[in-house]
């Protein structure tokens, strides 16, 4: 399996041979690079051009970005958000120093408050021709999640949970923190034995397994990734878990009735044009006294995803603001009960993933190739930087129907799990 | 002081004498009343018209609404949301049975899910020519809050807190629950000794006193109600509280810098057209590592206030949805950290207020008149019903600037107050 999974048409291929044939660095090249750095907020980095000698950034900066050819420089200037990723993946850009703090430095420079305000000058939603039709969604999801269970098994925790964990204590292991997340979600939902749960976008099925095993819930879990569903079914069978049904279908086709609706890490793939549709689905299936929870990556200002991330890693994805999320709830008079922002927890989670990924980089290179390793290194590192600098947030939103007074008065039940015998 | 404070031009005065001179009940009257009941969702109530005999609603319903004249009936049908309140206040409508469950029954009938969805068919904000200019706000606030401290002292708890309390235990006294609310707000804000707080809309100054006394904070508290500011200053002087400065000015004129921005129960009077302005004020004064909290009555669907409430009780007021509140935060890239919905706590709080109000009804009648007593009974009872049925919500929203990582990882600090010696 080569990196065709990673790129559609990778523009670096248009410039083959550039790396060797850039010739000497011209005054024009230096001028362009300086202008570019100024344009992205003058981050405190040094830049080395392809003759290996020219420094055009600050002096004594803790990071060096090496640009290996004039073609790379021109692409970077023409479309930085796409081509930095592509050229880094292809090895045409190298970062000397740790990648995460380098990216944090760049993101912070690019997100100076003035810029954020200017970009969000109008509160209109960033518009794009979302391709998340039924067929489009399937294709988009397969691009990412059907890279192979062998690949994800290398660096996710045992339960194959590919969403933000919860670290009550930052020193916890990834496994502990993922279990803590599962239990936090169940406690927020006041899950009780025998309750009927619908899970939209179940990944490899870990939350559904947990709800069935630990709380005695009956879960119908939906997903359109064939590989994930096959894994989830096999694992539930192997562990002898009853009460979980994995359904290979789109969230728009969810039918029946449920006491609890939960979706962890699917909304990023739904697209804002479909939020109202998602609300309609929840409105169709949730009982009058039911509770729901949506867990999603989000952002505090409506901005497009990085073009590289959207094109190469997560096609069709978008991370909503709180305001945009309300289009799920408001048209159906759902009441928002609780919103928690777990931004820093996702930075911790990603740091665990990146460490494991790096430890298995040779295995990943054998499964794919070196440019795939570099692309995923950049994706994981960039995500850490997005969460530490606040370009991304992680929202957990608990909701009910209007006037449901079954909800607890305080949050005391969220802190400690109830004894298991009280739950079932 | 008569009820000129309550009504501008009270339309019931146009129909003087109706009560006595309605004549016999016609078939047309009964037909109109039946059609009206159907139009408001057929609540399970009985209706008695002015001959004292005619029942036109359900049989065996737990509540009876007595309509004392044809004029009242016609006004009710023409403009129910305004005239029910006015005619109830004037004694032209009487409710037999408890007022709160009567109103809950009516609100539930009027808010059938289908209706809510139809009303919110477009997510456009309900628009109105808000009169909350600097001068307009002052007039609106004086209408309600300058009714006299003697009046509010009759039924508010000792600290004169006129916002939703927090009942960790539903059996707590109002005083305990108000203190619990103050401390919850301080804990959410991680308030520390010496921190500079700006409070926008400080009421009678209770939160500012608490922050200064219990946490050693230095508070600048703004309010445009002259009577409240005078009370707050006198009380702080009397109690010898240092570190609190009460400023009679509009939130739009807040200057300087603060580590903590807090506003409890002011946003209802700001008006959606000014949310962006409020965000601009916060953006101007909050330090990079600062935290902010806004506590407000809200709703899950954007709908206008009851016309009666807006005209007679709270001129210029509007209760926002979560989506609408985001216009405070999103343009300035504030990150929402935590949102808690305390809806049921406000129902408890109002029940305490209503009990105390009823115990002092003769005193209130002496201060104003009987129609004032009836109007406030309806306002307090209707508010309880709004919170129990979910037409109103109570949102506490905690926020920071983008990327502020000073925020705690979990909510464990919210449950128990830290020892006092750790705070100061």
Put simply, whether B110 touches A (Cβ < 8 Å) is no
Where does A299-403 show beta strands of DSSP type E? 334-341, 393-401
Q: How many CA atoms lie within 13 A of A25 on its CB side?
A: 20
Name the band, by pLDDT with cuts 50, 70 and 90, for residue B158.
confident
What is the average per-residue pLDDT within A178-206? Answer: 97
Q: How far apart are CA A163 and CA B265, in angstroms?
A: 37
Partner residue opposite B301 with nearest CB, options A111, A330, A404 = A330
pLDDT value of position A139: 77
Is the pLDDT at B136 greater than 80, yes or no? no
Q: Does B275 touch chain A (CB under 8 A)?
A: no
Q: For residue A331, give the nearest of B323, B107, B394 by alpha carbon.
A: B323
* pLDDT higher than threshold 70 for residue B9: no
Quote the pLDDT of residue B183: 97
pLDDT at position A417 over 60: no
Average pLDDT of the residues in A395-421: 80
Q: Is A341 on the interface with B (CB under 8 A)?
A: yes
- Residues contacting A394, CB < 8 A, separation 6+: A164, A295, A296, A297, A298, A341, A342, A343, A345, A346, A387
User: B2: pLDDT confidence band, cut at 50, 70 and 90?
Assistant: very low
Mean pLDDT, chain B, whole residue set: 87
How many residues make up chain A in this entry? 424
B113 neighbourhood in chain A, CB within 8 Å: 332-333, 401-402
Percent of chain A with pLDDT over 90: 69
Structure tokens at B29: 């009257």
Residues of B within 8 A of A411 (CB-CB) are: 340, 411, 414-415
Report the pLDDT averaged over residues B128-140. Answer: 66
Q: Provide the ipTM.
A: 0.90
Predicted local distance difference test score (pLDDT) of residue A88: 95
Mean pLDDT over each residue of chain A, to the nearest integer: 87
* Residues with Cβ within 8 Å of residue A301, at least 6 apart in sequence: A116, A119, A120, A321, B330, B333, B402
Would you call B40 an interface residue with chain A, using a CB distance cutoff of 8 Å? no
What is the distance between the alpha carbons of residues B75 and B22, in angstroms, rounded to a whole number?
Answer: 13
Residues B218 and B243: their CA atoms lie apart, in Å, by: 5
Q: Is pLDDT at A288 greater than 70 in this prediction?
A: yes
Of residues A8 and B98, more confidence is placed in: B98
Cβ-based neighbour number of residue A30 at 10 Å: 16
- Say if CB B326 and CB A301 are below 8 A apart: no
Confidence (pTM)? 0.90
pLDDT for res A58: 55
* Residue A394: predicted pLDDT: 98
According to the model, what pLDDT value does residue B408 have? 86
pLDDT of residue B362: 97
How far is Cα A153 from Cα A250, in angstroms, rounded to an integer?
A: 24
Q: B305, B308, B339: which is closest to B322 by C-alpha?
A: B339
| Backbone phi, psi, residue B47, to 5° | -125, 135
A9 touches chain B (CB under 8 A): no
**Residue B199 near residue B207 (C-beta atoms within 8 A):** yes
Check if CATH label 3.40.50.150 holds for domain B134-423.
yes
pLDDT of residue A289: 95
CB B45 within 8 A of CB B57: yes
pLDDT over 90 at B311, yes or no: no
Give the whole-angstrom CA distance, residue A387 versus residue A380.
Answer: 11
Q: Check if A365 contacts B (Cβ < 8 Å).
A: no
User: Rounded to whole angstroms, how far apart are CA atoms B390 and B301?
Assistant: 10
Domain chopping of chain A, boundaries:
3-97, 134-341+389-423
> Closest Cα partner for B154 from B347, B390, B373, B412?
B373
Question: How large a percentage of chain B has pLDDT more than 90?
Answer: 68
| pLDDT tier for residue A181 given thresholds of 50, 70 and 90 | very high
Provide the percentage of residues in chain B whose pLDDT is more than 70: 86
Kindly tell me if the per-residue pLDDT of A125 is higher than 90.
no
Decide which of B273 and A9 is more confident.
Answer: B273
Name which CATH class applies to B3-97.
alpha beta
Question: Among all residues of chain A, which has the CA nearest to that of B414?
Answer: A411
Contact call for residues A382 and A309 (beta carbons, < 8 A): yes
pLDDT the model gives residue A112: 65
Query: For position A157, what pLDDT does the model report?
Result: 80
Determine whether the interchain pair A390/B404 forms a contact, defined as Cβ–Cβ distance below 8 Å.
yes
Distance CA B125, CA A154 (A): 49
Going by pLDDT thresholds of 50, 70 and 90, the confidence category of residue A178 is very high
Q: Scanning every residue of chain A, which has its alpha carbon at the shortest distance from the alpha carbon of B326?
A: A323
Helix (H, G, I), strand (E, B) or coil at B417: coil
CATH code assigned to A134-341+389-423: 3.40.50.150
* Residues A295 and A263: beta-carbon distance below 8 Å: yes
pLDDT tier for residue B257 given thresholds of 50, 70 and 90: very high
Nearest residue, CB atoms, B339 vs list A338, A343, A388? A338
Interface list for B 294-323 with A (CB within 8 A): 300-302, 321-323
Are B329 and A300 inside 8 Å of each other by CB?
Answer: yes
Residue B135: what pLDDT?
A: 78
pLDDT at A56: 67
Stretch (H or E) spanning A351 = helix A343-359
Residue B400 confidence class, pLDDT cut points 50, 70, 90: very high
- In angstroms, what CA-CA distances link B182 with A22, B191, B211, B230, B334? 66, 11, 8, 21, 23
Q: Tell me how crowded residue A415 is: count the other CB atoms within 10 A of its CB.
A: 14
Q: CA-to-CA distance for B166 and B172, rounded, in angstroms?
A: 9
Residue A15 has pLDDT above 60, yes or no: no
pLDDT of A32 over the 50 cut? yes
A320-331 confidence digits (pLDDT tens): 999 999 999 999
What pLDDT, on the 0 to 100 scale, is given for residue B221? 98
In this predicted structure, what is the pLDDT of residue B91?
95
């Amino acid at each position: 399996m080569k990196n065709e999974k990673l790129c559609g048409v990778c523009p670096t291929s248009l410039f083959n041979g550039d790396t060797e044939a850039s010739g000497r660095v011209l005054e024009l090249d230096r001028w362009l690079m300086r202008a570019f750095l100024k344009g992205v907020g003058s981050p405190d980095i040094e830049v080395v051009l392809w003759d290996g000698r020219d420094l055009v950034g600050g002096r004594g900066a803790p990071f060096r970005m090496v640009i290996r050819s004039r073609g790379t420089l021109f692409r970077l200037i023409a479309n930085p958000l796409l081509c930095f990723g592509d050229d880094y993946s292809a090895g045409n850009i190298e970062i000397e120093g740790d990648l995460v703090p380098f990216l944090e430095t760049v993101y912070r420079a690019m997100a100076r408050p003035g810029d954020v305000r200017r970009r969000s000058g109008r509160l209109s939603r960033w518009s794009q021709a979302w391709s998340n039709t039924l067929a489009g969604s399937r294709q988009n999801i397969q691009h990412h999640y059907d890279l192979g269970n062998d690949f994800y098994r290398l660096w996710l925790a045992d339960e194959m949970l590919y969403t933000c964990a919860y670290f009550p204590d930052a020193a916890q292991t990834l496994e502990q923190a993922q279990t803590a997340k599962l239990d936090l979600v169940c406690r927020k939902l006041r899950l009780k034995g025998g309750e009927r749960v619908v899970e939209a976008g179940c990944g490899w099925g870990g939350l559904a397994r947990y709800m069935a095993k630990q709380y005695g819930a009956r879960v119908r879990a939906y997903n359109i990734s064939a590989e994930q569903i096959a894994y989830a079914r096999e694992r539930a069978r192997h562990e002898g878990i009853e009460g979980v049904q994995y359904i290979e279908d789109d969230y728009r086709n969810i039918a029946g009735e449920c006491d609890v609706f939960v979706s962890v890490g699917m909304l990023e793939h739904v697209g804002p044009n479909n939020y109202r549709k998602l609300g309609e689905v929840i409105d169709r299936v949730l009982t009058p006294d039911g509770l729901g929870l949506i867990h999603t990556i989000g952002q505090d200002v409506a901005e497009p995803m990085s073009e590289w991330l959207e094109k190469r890693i997560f096609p069709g994805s978008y991370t909503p603001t709180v305001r945009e999320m309300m289009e799920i709830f408001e048209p159906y008079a759902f009441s928002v009960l609780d919103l928690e922002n777990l931004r820093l927890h996702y930075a911790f989670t990603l740091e665990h993933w990146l460490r494991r990924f790096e430890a298995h980089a040779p295995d990943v290179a054998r499964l794919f190739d070196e440019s795939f390793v570099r692309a995923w290194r950049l994706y994981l590192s960039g995500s850490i930087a997005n969460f530490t600098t606040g370009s991304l947030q992680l929202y957990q939103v608990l909701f009910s129907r209007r006037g449901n007074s079954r909800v607890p008065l305080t949050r005391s039940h969220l802190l400690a799990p109830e004894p298991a015998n009280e739950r079932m």
